[in-house]
Amino acid sequence: INDTYNSNCECVGEISNSNGCATNADGMVDVEFGIFTDNWPQENTLIIYDSGGNQLTNAVTPATQNAYNSWNCGFCGTNGDQLTLMVTDSYGDGIVNGAYFLARCYAENGQEVTLIPQTTWATGNPKTPGTPISTSVDFTIP
């Protein structure tokens, strides 16, 4: 932090060993939410809630199958805030075939900070195909 260039054109400043997430110009943390989809990305939605249960984001649906799809939320919270990621599958079998979801941010030193590790979520064949199911994961922005 406080980087400048010295007379030898070397970047100098203070080293940050923070395990917390860096803040953007608005004082908020840029949180990345992502999902590596299965063959049916259109079945999935992700929504972010604050600790009071207020919905912070509209439901987002991945566009690309068998690929990593991500969204950045630069207004979801600050360090110390607790959030919830809710993942819904409209077919009712979760995300299958090696798919996962996650959340992360980056510290001031550029290091990735894991907020939700890669999490798989599969129910197998649903008892009632077409019946939506959801899972929620709470996490705190460090």
- How far, in Å, CA of 101 to CA of 87, rounded? 8
Q: What is the mean pLDDT of residues 92-96?
A: 86
Lowest mean pLDDT among 6-20, 21-35, 46-60, 107-121: 6-20
Residue 39 in this model has a pLDDT that exceeds 80: yes
* pTM score of the predicted model: 0.82
**Who's near 49: CB < 8 A, 6+ residues apart?**
55, 56, 83, 84, 86
**Encoded tokens for 37:** 């989809």
CA atoms in the 13 A half-sphere facing the CB of 83: 27
Q: What is the mean pLDDT of residues 120-141?
A: 88
pLDDT band at residue 1 using 50, 70 and 90 as cut-offs: low
